[in-house]
Amino acid sequence: MLHPQVNAAAQLRRRPTAEGLAADPYQRLLGARAAMEESNEAETGPALPLPVVADLDADGVPCRLYATRAGAPVLVYLHGGGWCYGSIETVDRFCRRVADRSGCAVVSVDYRLAPEHVFPAALDDTGTVLTYLRREGGGLGVDVSRLAIGGDSAGGQLATVTARRQRDAATPLDFQVLIYPALDPLTSAESYDEVGGYGLDRASMKMAWETFVPDPLLRLTPDVSPLAVDDLSGMPPTLLITAEYDALRDEGADYANALIAAGVPVVHTRYMGVNHGFARKLATIDAARAAADQVASALRSALTF
């Protein structure tokens, strides 16, 4: 049963007007971006003070560093939003809570969005940030010898593709956190039919994939579709979170099973009664705080405190 908090949280975001619905697709996208940012504080709550919150330029990619102590290991975090929405601000409260409770530094990446910047721009930005951190981490006061990556939704896709690319480059990451990741450009899972009426449906995800990767010939390549990777052995140990009322639920579970079959240590947790996007809504959904704390606990364990 869908938790009443989910419905209450949904009322906080401005819905498109008839005029907005009649606008061209790009203007509708701009309206949706603005609505997400406008509702952000009500959904996510006040900012938790931390000793270090600093905006960075990582070789041209804007980032925000959160830290509670010097010499902390690092989680590179990639926000969700269908590769078209979202920002550092929309996951700010989530990143603060994870940094506070894990003792890890968190570097949140403001990667370029589609359709202004299509694939592989966001993926390239993620790689640029990792290169920057490995070079400059000492000066930033963090320990990049212990390095994890994570993200939610579209950010989960960018995170795990990057983890696989780092594995292939012989610079493997130590851990990955995937929160209801978007992994299947074909949108073929049964969960689209079963729970596609709870905030995220097949049509919106198809549009997101097509906006991010306009060339259909690229959509089933490993740098776009993690489920298309033949060999997942050697991927980092993984925490994978899915949501009961999320159209992406089944593809996340399929990926968890594929990682396990490849010998990768995986914890897959399904949060019941919630839908896609719940994890950043710390002010409105109890399960969001539990999920952030689970991420923090997993990072503490994985990065050897």
Instruction: Quote the Cα angle for 131-156-201, to 5°.
Output: 150
Q: Are strands 266-275 and 238-245 parallel, antiparallel or unpaired?
A: parallel
- Tokens at 211, concatenated: 């906006």
Q: Measure Cα distances from 48 to 53, 92, 122, 265 in Å.
A: 10, 9, 28, 32
**Residue the block writes with tokens 């370029």:** 112
Q: Which residues are catalytic?
A: 153, 246, 276
| C-beta separation of 195 from 205 below 8 A | no
Asked if 195 contacts 244 with a C-beta cutoff of 8 angstroms, the reply is: yes
Sorted by sequence, the CB contacts under 8 Å of residue 81 that are 6+ apart come out as 36, 87, 90, 113, 153, 154, 155
Question: Would you call 77 helix, strand, or coil by DSSP?
Answer: strand
